[in-house]
Structure 1
Amino acid sequence: MSATTITIHNTGNPASSAANERAWLTNPTNARQASFHIVVDEKEAVECLPLNENAWHSGDGSAAKSGNRTSIGVEICESGNYAKTLDNAAALVASMLKERGWGTERLRRHYDWSGKICPRLMYDSGKWTGWTAFKALVQAHMNEGGDELSVDKASIVINGCKARDGVIIDGSVYVPLREVAEKLGAAIAWDNVTKTASVTIKGAK
């Protein structure tokens, strides 16, 4: 396969790690014809197939221009600290884009190929706000290192200290929530059931 895009998925399994998802591919009881290239969780990324080999992840058949034939499939786990997992996935995807000289316009959802609601945790009742935020996080990682990229950036200053740049998309500024919270001395938590990120500042009412 000579990939032209990278396709993002959620695993659909709130209790499974990257290692477990990799093991599922070769489990003798698994009779499904499905596969993916990379799976990411809060601790690691596991490459399951060579990135120049077809994987069956897009649900759109085997035509020459199908996602299965042209796109690298990246699965994002839903278990554990999902905010950390998302940041790990965004960092990985950013490095893959930069290696290839691509921008975030090369990113695809599983939904773009076959209409399946995936990555499901980015769906937000059809508004896909999670997808927009994920692309912004990828772009923020791509901005690191001083590369000259065609993107509107926002300088972020917290209590007089410079933080990682945010990005401006459609008039809104997207920032890395974990970094902002930590610089404010706040605790951040992710509720994987309600898909809610909570920031708590000590002493605040």
Structure 2
Amino acid sequence: MIKYTINHIPKGTACNRRPALPMTATTITIHNTGNESSTAANERAWLTNPTNGREASYHIVVDQLGAIECLPLSENAWHSGDGSKAGSGNRTSIGIELCESGDYSKVLDNAVELVADMLKQRGWGVDRLRRHYDWSGKICPRLMYDDGKWAGWTNFKNRVEAEMKEDEAMDKASVYVGGKQIADGLYDSKAGIVYVPVRPVSEALGAKVKWDGANKRVDLTK
């Protein structure tokens, strides 16, 4: 599961980067940071850096380590480049920046997981996804542009949709030992398999758990 940190910039941050205008989002907009060496932590810090003179902000930034929520998702951010009218992307869309540093394939993995979960939570499909390009014509997310073919964007949406379908096959399952609920598991309805966390179940049954990370092995002993 992707690591998700909430670290909102303060109200009153310079250059109106947190205008705190209420927003009921109808879409999610994907961006690339345009910085090949910056991390999510760097991008969050940039929003409150006194040398930053731009009136621009975003809700979430994702890198290979996880995601940081920089503004509340119920407030607008200036990320779409299409003004401040009621129907603009700036006023209706959650802006997500994808970092270009480090392992970009892992950045994409994290973004797919995060966006799929956000869409599911809202009862939305991938038709609610937007590029920065869709609002203002800017070539962004630039790493999905592919000389105008936008193959990377199509692939990203397809991956998000596949992730959502995979999750739909998994239902929550409660795990009981001796009549007492000790953990939550997942039931894969397609495969007919129940996945349970090894440690709490084993310890509830009086077994000791040892994880061998080098060999990806779990040993249970009584």
Question: Residue type of the partner of 1:48?
Answer: C
**2:72 pairs with 1:28:** no
- Give the match's secondary structure for 2:24: coil
Are positions 1:130 and 2:145 aligned together?
Answer: no
How far apart, CA to CA, are the structure 2 residues paired with 1:145 and 1:60?
34
Aligned mates of 2:168, 2:32 — CA distance in 1: 30
Q: 1:36–1:48: 8 Å Cα contact kept in structure 2? A: yes
Distance of 1:141 and 1:3 partners within structure 2: 22
Q: How far apart in 2 are the matches of 1:115 and 1:35?
A: 18
Equivalent position SS for 2:130: strand
Cα deviation for residue 80 of structure 1 reads: 0.4
What is the one-letter code of the residue matched to 2:68? Answer: V
2:3 corresponding residue in structure 1: none
CA deviation map 1:79-112 (0-9, x unaligned) = 0000010010010000000000000000000000
Structure having the higher Rg? 2
Partner Cα distance (2:64, 2:49) in 1: 23
Q: CA deviation at 1:133?
A: 0.4
Write the distance in 1 (CA, Å) between the matches of 2:62 and 2:167: 23
Number of matched residues? 149
Q: CA RMSD in A?
A: 1.3
Secondary structure, aligned partner of 1:57: coil
Which runs of 5 or more structure 1 residues have no equivalent in the other structure? 149-161, 163-205
Deviation at 1:11, TM superposition (A): 0.2
Q: Which residue in 2 is equivalent to 1:142?
A: 164
Contact 1:36/1:75 (<8 A) preserved:
yes
TM-score scaled by structure 1? Answer: 0.71
Distance 1:112 1:28 in 2: 31
Partner residue, 1:168: none
SS at match of 1:16: coil
Taking the TM superposition and a 5 Å limit, the aligned residue runs for 1:182-193 are none
1:145 to partner: Cα distance: 2.7
Q: Which amino acid aligns with 1:42?
A: Q
Aligned twin of 1:2: 24
Matching residue's letter, 1:83: S
Aligned mates of 1:145, 1:107 — CA distance in 2: 18
Instruction: Provide the secondary structure at the position in 1 that maps to 2:168.
Output: coil
Alignment counterpart, residue 81 of structure 2, candidates 56, 59, 64: 59
> Displacement of 1:147 after TM fit?
4.7
Moved more, 135-144 or 85-94: 135-144
Provide the rounded CA distance (Å) in 2 between the counterparts of 1:145 and 1:116: 33
Residue 145 of structure 1 aligns to a residue in which SS?
helix
Give me the whole-angstrom Cα distance separating, in 2, the residues matched to 1:95 and 1:71. Answer: 16
